[in-house]
A and B are shown apart, each in its own frame.
Chain A
Amino acid sequence: MFDRRLLQNFDWALALMTYVLAGIGLLTIYSAMAPTVQGGATAFVYRQALWFAFGSLALVVAFIPHYNWLDRWVWVLYALCIFLLIWVLFFGKTVSGARRWISLGPFTLQPSELVKLAVIVVLAHLYSESARESGLSLGDLVKPAIFVLLPFVLILLEPDLGGALMLLLIGGSMTLFVKVRRRAFAWLVGFGAAAAPLAWFLLKDYQKQRIFTFLNPDRDPLGAGYHIIQSKIAIGSGGLTGKGYLDGSQKALAYLPEQHTDFIFSVFAEEWGLAGSSALLFLFLVFLGLGLNIAFRSKDPFGTVLAVGVVVMIFWQAFINVGMVMGLMPVVGVPMPLVSYGGSSVLTTMIGIGLLLSVGMRRFMFE
């Protein structure tokens, strides 16, 4: 099964970047958990490392076969994910009022994460066939729209605003990538504008609160705005060079909520300052650039769109997470890929990277 050419074209840089980012994540998680967990911080690091081990396994499994097996099994995969989404709505584990997880023994699985990949594959499949130079027409958009909106609604019901939003963004970006006709685009925008008020009513109160708080965090410094204010203080107080590894005072005193998950970037920024934070952002940019390079060099549309989809998935998560902790957008509970603590996110991202590697490896191979 293995061809020498596969290894030749293996994108070592991308793989390296993956583990560099993972390593940064592990170090920062340790720092984030150290003060509050009193010696149990290493447990978190081990667990995350374990997830990376699984992730690496999944990554390898993802790039071993030619990626067009996805093309063949796309509907099965999609159906499976939809099934899991429905399953979680009825039988899922509830944590702080949200049913997003399925228990599998000691581990929990978040279907909303996996479904992102499924949607990417579905859209890659559809667009690799139907895209035109003049762009997609409104009629062309119907099918993709259904396949995106179905899981979107299911995720929204959990409720998981962040996850649903992510689906829309990924789907939207991929659609725009394959070009949409101007008229269709106008229709889309119009539809979105009309749907927004409706969506507003469907939002739960706390979700509305989130948006209000985003617009004015000082309005509620002890409640919803608290996280953002504390996050900004943590980031801002890092200054140019940061307070030093393990020395972040905001983090140490547990003023930051969710320091090891959503707000991991704040911890990092407090300890490494502008220098460190911009370096991390730069690393991400390079990482994504490598992914896009794979898309660029891919020889077939499916591969290109698939690669773009994975890149876009990672991009949006990173962008929204960092933007959120810096107060640029409402808090929506999106973790930072590879860096944040959290098994499902790691798993999904690693699978995605595996797919990227798969596309990259096979740019000269046709089956």
Chain B
Amino acid sequence: MNLYLKTGWNDWYRRRVPGVFLLLLAAFCILFLRLFQLQVLGGAQYHRLSENNAIRLQALAPHRGLILDANGYCLADNRPSFDVCIVPWYARHSQTVLPLLSEILSIDGDRLAERVNQGRRSAPYSPVCAREDIDRDLLAVIHARLPELPGVILNVRSQRHYPQDGAVAHLVGYVGQISPQEIADGRFPHRRSGDLVGKYGVERAFDAMISGRYGGRQVEVDAKGQVVSVLRTVPAEPGSDIRLTLDMRLQNRARQLMGDNTGAVVAVDIRTGGILAMVSQPDFNPNWFVDGMSTDQWNFLAQDPARPLENKALLAYPPGSVYKIVSAMAGLEEGVITPQSTFFCSGFLEFGGRDFRCWKKGGHGRKALVAALAESCDVYFYELGLLLGVDRLAWYAHACGLGSVTGLGFDNESPGLVATAAWKRARFNESWMSGETLSVVIGQGFNLVTPLQMAFLTAAVANGGILYKPQVVARITTPWGGTEESFAPVVRGRLPVSPQNLEVIMQGLWGAVNGPAGTARAARLADVPFSGKTGTAQVVGRGDRETFLNRIYDRRDFQNHAWFAGYHVGQDGEGIAVAVFVEHGGGGSAVAAPIARDLIAEYARRAGPVAAAGADVPDWRE
């Protein structure tokens, strides 16, 4: 206590005080400098960050356009999908809501509780999805019990739906999430990750038109995720609806006629090039892709040997005898034969030390072109082939639309193959052997055609020689009904044949169905006149096929492919061309021709593809 009087001592302490002040000053200068750094130097950036924190963009999904057939049947639409979600903040006081909800939805209660608790900590106003896409019964239950379920909300989404299930699967296609590859390619310029884009078929080829445009809302949110205000709204643009040229009744009938067979049917309107039916079997249900599929379903799609995901109408196969149409055309036009020229068929032709057989063991005898076509005499065409040579034959094939894509616009169309000497040299580094021409001319050998190409070739024969570009879309309409775009038929080319020569060929095709010895005679109709050509494409050599062992095991995949390409022309020039292809179907006349017959009959017995008002046309709005 006596220190207090020692002022000398105190001076020592006191002198140190200003030093303290200086240190404080220095410290505050540091703080000030930091403030300067943050607020002046970084001011603009932090200001921007504070804005970004608070503002969120919510996308407003557009309504995807409908896909309808020519009569207005709905092939693809959007259905509401109900998700059951729970908002953690509103559910926070209830002990019972989570167990009850788990029980009603039959989901794991612990997992849900875990997710909700996590949500409550991080973003309590953001809904946690408990179960997606519930059915209507469950929806009714939940809705009725909402008072017992505080915090539970029902979110509605729009989900793509295919009411016809698998009937038009390959043509209409399906949608799926855009892949990173597709984003990188720029194939879908206005889409971002997470958007649905067409993956197959019309959905893909015309995606730009039916997808519409995303809208958006700029909202301000607070730190918990609760929307505080809506700053701006840009409405979504709905996609346009697409009317196809397809006739659903023909499509269904064709599918029914194909039964369990693997293969394809293509039916074309001969005056417009509009596709009336396109069936590929086996098919699949495109709803699987949208609703989510089970492992079994995926295994079926990916691993079934019949490959359901392929659109067989667009795949290329050996044409067999239907190719003789091209060969005949080439022969006539090149002048190496006339309609009166004949060749003698004894059941085989010897060439190059080999016997090239005709399908008819005993031979056809002496035949001219019309009969040779009608009865599908191989020897006649062997002789023709030797006179033509492979390259001339190839030229005509190309002019008939073979060997290149038809212009349908789908990604997965095969161009087929038309062999030439040059091609063989490039491919196998071997020169062409004349004997190979003999195979090619009757549709065996290297050549490959697609059912689509065959159908259009047939249509061109039927309508006087105009080769149309395949059309699958008739018109595009706005969501309010007005026409946005109409598609007129597009001519791709003309068959390289004079009207007279074409007439001869048509006679041959007429004879195949209606003539006394026509290969398709069994398929003729009394009331509906139609013509066509059968084809039987060998898969393995006959010798192999008919060996004792293989006959015993009856191996289906050694069976020949069955083809039939035919047409019917009505009174005023309108008509239908049909190409039927049955994989490993055996004989074209036995298997493929009846299918074409019945389909043509279906077409002809009605008033035509574009129905006027009629009692049996259902309202597509049903």
Query: Are A236 and B47 in contact, with the CB atoms below 8 A?
Result: yes
Query: Are A299 and B43 in contact, with the CB atoms below 8 A?
Result: no
Query: Are A305 and B13 in contact, with the CB atoms below 8 A?
Result: yes
Query: Are A237 and B50 in contact, with the CB atoms below 8 A?
Result: yes
Rounded to whole Å, the gap between the CB of A119 and the closest CB of chain B is 18
Nearest chain-A residue to B43 (Cβ)? Answer: A239
* B18-31 contact mask (Cβ, 8 Å, vs A): 1 or 0: 10110011011011
Which of A177, A235, A311 contacts B46 (CB under 8 A)? Answer: A235
Query: Are A281 and B34 in contact, with the CB atoms below 8 A?
Result: no
A234-B50, A311-B20 as given contacts; A304 in contact with B40, CB under 8 Å: no
* A295-323 contact mask (Cβ, 8 Å, vs B): 1 or 0: 11111111011001001100100010011
Give A172 to B32 CA distance when docked, in angstroms.
24
Scan residues 254-308 of chain A and give those whose CB is less than 8 A from a CB of chain B: 254-255, 269-270, 273-274, 277-278, 281-282, 284-285, 288-289, 292, 295-302, 304-305, 308
Nearest chain-B residue to A242 (Cβ)? Answer: B39
Residues of chain B with a CB closer than 8 A to A292's CB: 17-18, 20-21, 24
Residues of chain B with a CB closer than 8 A to A302's CB: 3-4
Give A249 to B223 CA distance when docked, in angstroms.
11
Looking at chain A's contact residues, the main secondary structure is helix
Contact of A128 with B by CB under 8 A: yes
Residues of chain A with a CB closer than 8 A to B46's CB: 232-237
Contact of A1 with B by CB under 8 A: no
Rounded to whole Å, the gap between the CB of B311 and the closest CB of chain A is 48
A234-B50, A304-B10 as given contacts; A326 in contact with B20, CB under 8 Å: no
Residues of chain B with a CB closer than 8 A to A236's CB: 38-39, 42-43, 45-47, 49-50
Residues of chain B with a CB closer than 8 A to A270's CB: 50
Give A282 to B35 CA distance when docked, in angstroms.
13
Give A48 to B241 CA distance when docked, in angstroms.
65
Looking at chain B's contact residues, the main secondary structure is helix
Contact of B429 with A by CB under 8 A: no
- Having A281-B28, A299-B10, one finds 18 other A-B pairs with CB under 8 Å, namely A128-B3, A178-B13, A178-B16, A236-B50, A237-B43, A239-B39, A249-B50, A252-B222, A253-B54, A277-B39, A282-B28, A285-B28, A292-B18, A298-B10, A304-B14, A308-B20, A315-B24, A328-B31
Interface size class of A (residues with CB under 8 A): 35 or more
Residues of chain B with a CB closer than 8 A to A319's CB: 27-28, 31
Rounded to whole Å, the gap between the CB of B55 and the closest CB of chain A is 10
List B residues at the A interface (Cβ < 8 Å).
1, 3-5, 7, 9-10, 12-14, 16-18, 20-21, 24-25, 27-28, 30-32, 34-36, 38-40, 42-47, 49-51, 53-54, 122, 220-224, 228
A232-B38, A236-B43, A236-B46 as given contacts; A278 in contact with B32, CB under 8 Å: yes
Query: Are B220 and A326 in contact, with the CB atoms below 8 A?
Result: no
Rounded to whole Å, the gap between the CB of A302 and the closest CB of chain B is 8
Rounded to whole Å, the gap between the CB of B190 and the closest CB of chain A is 31
Give A281 to B14 CA distance when docked, in angstroms.
25
Residues of chain A with a CB closer than 8 A to B3's CB: 128-129, 300-302
Contact of A210 with B by CB under 8 A: no
A281-B32, A289-B21 as given contacts; A254 in contact with B14, CB under 8 Å: no
Rounded to whole Å, the gap between the CB of A366 and the closest CB of chain B is 6
Query: Are A308 and B17 in contact, with the CB atoms below 8 A?
Result: yes
Residues of chain A with a CB closer than 8 A to B28's CB: 281-282, 284-285, 319
Residues of chain B with a CB closer than 8 A to A323's CB: 31, 34
Residues of chain A with a CB closer than 8 A to B50's CB: 233-234, 236-237, 249-250, 270
Rounded to whole Å, the gap between the CB of B22 and the closest CB of chain A is 10
Give A274 to B36 CA distance when docked, in angstroms.
7
14 A-B contacts, Cβ less than 8 Å apart?
Answer: A230-B53, A234-B50, A235-B35, A235-B46, A237-B46, A252-B222, A282-B28, A285-B25, A299-B10, A300-B4, A301-B3, A301-B13, A304-B17, A326-B34
Query: Are B47 and A237 in contact, with the CB atoms below 8 A?
Result: yes
Give A126 to B51 CA distance when docked, in angstroms.
54
Give A179 to B459 CA distance when docked, in angstroms.
109
Which of B17, B35, B221 contacts A278 (CB under 8 A)? Answer: B35
Give A215 to B14 CA distance when docked, in angstroms.
39
Residues of chain A with a CB closer than 8 A to B35's CB: 235, 269, 274, 277-278, 281, 326
Give A127 to B488 CA distance when docked, in angstroms.
104
Give A254 to B17 CA distance when docked, in angstroms.
42
* A219-244 contact mask (Cβ, 8 Å, vs B): 1 or 0: 00010000000101111111110000
Give A222 to B121 CA distance when docked, in angstroms.
12
Residues of chain A with a CB closer than 8 A to B7's CB: 299
Give A277 to B39 CA distance when docked, in angstroms.
10
Residues of chain A with a CB closer than 8 A to B42's CB: 236
Residues of chain B with a CB closer than 8 A to A233's CB: 46, 49-50, 53
Query: Are B4 and A133 in contact, with the CB atoms below 8 A?
Result: no
Give A128 to B24 CA distance when docked, in angstroms.
22
Contact of A131 with B by CB under 8 A: yes
Give A71 to B47 CA distance when docked, in angstroms.
53
Q: How many A-B residue pairs have CB under 8 A?
A: 148
Residues of chain A with a CB closer than 8 A to B32's CB: 278, 281
Rounded to whole Å, the gap between the CB of A220 and the closest CB of chain B is 13
Query: Are B10 and A300 in contact, with the CB atoms below 8 A?
Result: yes
Query: Are A328 and B34 in contact, with the CB atoms below 8 A?
Result: yes
Rounded to whole Å, the gap between the CB of B218 and the closest CB of chain A is 15
A129-B3, A253-B223, A278-B35 as given contacts; A301 in contact with B27, CB under 8 Å: no
Residues of chain A with a CB closer than 8 A to B20's CB: 177, 292, 295, 308, 311-312
Rounded to whole Å, the gap between the CB of A241 and the closest CB of chain B is 10
Rounded to whole Å, the gap between the CB of B29 and the closest CB of chain A is 10
Scan residues 308-367 of chain A and give those whose CB is less than 8 A from a CB of chain B: 308, 311-312, 315, 319, 322-323, 326, 328, 366
Residues of chain A with a CB closer than 8 A to B221's CB: 253
Nearest chain-A residue to B224 (Cβ)? Answer: A254
Nearest chain-A residue to B49 (Cβ)? Answer: A233
Query: Are B222 and A253 in contact, with the CB atoms below 8 A?
Result: yes
Nearest chain-B residue to A173 (Cβ)? Answer: B20
Query: Are A254 and B222 in contact, with the CB atoms below 8 A?
Result: yes
Query: Are A255 and B53 in contact, with the CB atoms below 8 A?
Result: yes
Give A224 to B366 CA distance when docked, in angstroms.
96
Query: Are B27 and A315 in contact, with the CB atoms below 8 A?
Result: yes
Which of B12, B34, B40, B223 contacts A240 (CB under 8 A)? Answer: B40
A238-B39, A285-B24 as given contacts; A253 in contact with B228, CB under 8 Å: yes
Give A281 to B25 CA distance when docked, in angstroms.
10
Query: Are A301 and B222 in contact, with the CB atoms below 8 A?
Result: no
Query: Are A273 and B49 in contact, with the CB atoms below 8 A?
Result: no
Query: Are A240 and B9 in contact, with the CB atoms below 8 A?
Result: no
Residues of chain B with a CB closer than 8 A to A366's CB: 4-5
Residues of chain B with a CB closer than 8 A to A297's CB: 14
Closest 4 CB pairs of A and B: A236-B46, A237-B50, A253-B222, A239-B43
Give A270 to B30 CA distance when docked, in angstroms.
19
Query: Are B21 and A301 in contact, with the CB atoms below 8 A?
Result: no
Give A274 to B224 CA distance when docked, in angstroms.
29
Nearest chain-B residue to A251 (Cβ)? Answer: B50
Rounded to whole Å, the gap between the CB of B31 and the closest CB of chain A is 5
Give A42 to B69 CA distance when docked, in angstroms.
67
Rounded to whole Å, the gap between the CB of A285 and the closest CB of chain B is 5
Give A200 to B614 CA distance when docked, in angstroms.
89
Query: Are A235 and B24 in contact, with the CB atoms below 8 A?
Result: no
Rounded to whole Å, the gap between the CB of A217 and the closest CB of chain B is 13
Query: Are A253 and B14 in contact, with the CB atoms below 8 A?
Result: no
